[in-house]
A and B are shown apart, each in its own frame.
Chain A
């Protein structure tokens, strides 16, 4: 399965770049996302619980980044395992280009869904993937556009931040970024990153963008339901 999307975000590219590197923003944009953790600089984990129709599933996705061209482009690959429901693997190329003061975000994703979800849920996979991606980017664009004053994330190892007291889901109205997002990096980011690891935002960009797209797919897998009325 392949799908693509294009979103115009009313913010400069640097802001988008910074925001997309902010795990807390991403966490807010991903429906049902409980946490995004960076285990090592190239190994990320997201935990998501999703519920669609009668299906409710919790799954874990692992992400790694492969090609980086900060701040314009990256390639993210990853996989998610939903236990008995099946698995997903996939990748996404995300590009940011400047467009009249705003930013054009274009992604191309491909995903492979395997196991029971593919076998019994194929009628719903594509639709749900699109819907999920749309929901994510709509929330992302809104939050970033409204929160242009968002500070750039600091070096990953430096400042563990407290967890937000409330995490709005994309279906409810997103709060302004400045209010919703604590300054600093995500609480789950490990404080013991090796010193030689370049604290470039691009690293995190990759893994999190992957979360954006591939986890959307993983959610799809998890939310496929049996085709019986």
Chain B
């Protein structure tokens, strides 16, 4: 890690302005990815802009049918929030299963969403629930926000302020964690939204995606067995020394079924 200057702005606009001042400036939310990357020497920053001091980025609140979670809200806070547990319990379950205790006490929803790790949990929830990412400049639908492995629609200087979820949607998340890393080998978020069932998958492919095959099968018959019997093609699934693409494809169906079992129980 090389030396850098540390900034602790009080507003998102101030943070954004600082970020635009240098191509090597970075913001830090929870630091769960950034800090190890810096320590490994795989990235260098000249200024580190800490979002921790921006009061407006914290908290969970409901506005009508919307559950709004501030970008700096930690996973543990989402997992234990009475509001989330009452209005979107599937999201609380997801948050409770992220990483380990240390990660849940430091990592934030904004950091996770902005990073869009292909095996991160939150992107699946945003995509399945049709959430909206609220930035300092605009609102972006989840469908448009995630653009593949580590890719997002965020522009230079654009920062996430909050994520808005439609509340009171029946949903559930099932994850099969890679026993080595704890990352999702396959994680499936199933939501019974107004437009029909939505299935979003993380960990199995090179980025979060909606499994239209599963959605179609479940539209026909909303039953775990319908999900289990979907032969998801392994083409496009991740294959590495941890697991084959065939296994990941299979897990997507199993996890979809298990999420549905949870949801229908």
User: Measuring CB to CB, which residues of chain A are less than 8 angstroms from any residue of chain B?
Assistant: 52-57, 84-85, 116-117, 120, 122-128, 130-131, 171, 222-229
Partner of B41, one of A85, A125, A171, A224: A85
Chain B: minimal CB distance from A55 (Å): 5
Q: Taking chain A's interface residues, is the majority helix, strand, or loop, or is none over half, making it mixed?
A: helix
- With A54-B34, A226-B33, A226-B36 as given contacts, are A123 and B42 in contact (CB-CB < 8 Å)? no
Residues A131 and B43 in contact, CB atoms below 8 Å apart: no
- With A229-B98, A229-B103 as given contacts, are A124 and B32 in contact (CB-CB < 8 Å)? no
B37 interface residue, CB < 8 Å from A? yes
Residues A224 and B42 in contact, CB atoms below 8 Å apart: yes
User: How many chain-B residues does the 8 Å CB contact rule pick out?
Assistant: 37
Q: Can you list 19 residue pairs at the A/B interface with Cβ under 8 Å?
A: A52-B149, A54-B42, A56-B43, A85-B41, A120-B40, A123-B181, A123-B240, A123-B242, A125-B240, A127-B149, A171-B151, A226-B39, A226-B42, A227-B181, A228-B33, A228-B36, A229-B32, A229-B117, A229-B120
Q: How far is the CA of A120 from the CA of B39 in the complex (A)?
A: 12
Partner of B241, one of A52, A53, A122, A229: A122
Partner of B117, one of A53, A84, A85, A116: A53
Residues A226 and B240 in contact, CB atoms below 8 Å apart: no
Residues A85 and B42 in contact, CB atoms below 8 Å apart: yes
A171: B residues at CB distance < 8 A: 147, 151
Q: How far is the CA of A152 from the CA of B17 in the complex (A)?
A: 45
B33: A residues at CB distance < 8 A: 53-54, 225-226, 228-229
Indicate with 1 or 0, residue by residue over B142-155, a CB within 8 angstroms of chain A CB atoms: 00000111110000
Residues A52 and B150 in contact, CB atoms below 8 Å apart: yes
Chain B: minimal CB distance from A206 (Å): 29
User: Measuring CB to CB, which residues of chain B are less than 8 angstroms from any residue of chain A?
Assistant: 24, 26, 32-34, 36-37, 39-44, 98-99, 103, 107, 112, 115-120, 147-151, 181, 183, 206, 238-242
Residues B37 and A54 in contact, CB atoms below 8 Å apart: yes
Partner of B44, one of A56, A117, A223, A228: A56
Residues A124 and B149 in contact, CB atoms below 8 Å apart: yes
Nearest B residue to A82 via CB reads B42
Partner of B116, one of A53, A55, A116, A127: A53
Would you list the 8 A-B pairs with minimal beta carbon distance, nearest first?
A: A53-B150, A127-B206, A226-B36, A54-B37, A228-B36, A84-B41, A52-B150, A55-B42
Chain A: minimal CB distance from B73 (Å): 15
Residues A55 and B112 in contact, CB atoms below 8 Å apart: no
B24: A residues at CB distance < 8 A: 56
Partner of B37, one of A55, A122, A130, A131: A55
Nearest A residue to B34 via CB reads A54
Q: How far is the CA of A228 from the CA of B115 in the complex (A)?
A: 11
Residues B32 and A116 in contact, CB atoms below 8 Å apart: no
Q: How far is the CA of A57 from the CA of B151 in the complex (A)?
A: 16
B43: A residues at CB distance < 8 A: 54-57
Nearest A residue to B152 via CB reads A53
B103: A residues at CB distance < 8 A: 228-229
Q: How far is the CA of A117 from the CA of B239 in the complex (A)?
A: 17
Chain B: minimal CB distance from A190 (Å): 29
Chain A: minimal CB distance from B140 (Å): 15
A124: B residues at CB distance < 8 A: 118, 149
A226: B residues at CB distance < 8 A: 33, 36-37, 39-40, 42
Chain B: minimal CB distance from A144 (Å): 23
Chain A: minimal CB distance from B39 (Å): 8
Beyond the given A123-B240, A225-B33, please list 17 additional residue pairs across the A-B interface where CB-CB is below 8 A. Answer: A53-B37, A53-B116, A55-B37, A56-B44, A57-B43, A122-B240, A122-B241, A124-B149, A125-B240, A127-B206, A130-B206, A131-B148, A131-B149, A225-B37, A225-B150, A229-B32, A229-B99
Q: How far is the CA of A120 from the CA of B43 in the complex (A)?
A: 14
Chain A: minimal CB distance from B96 (Å): 14
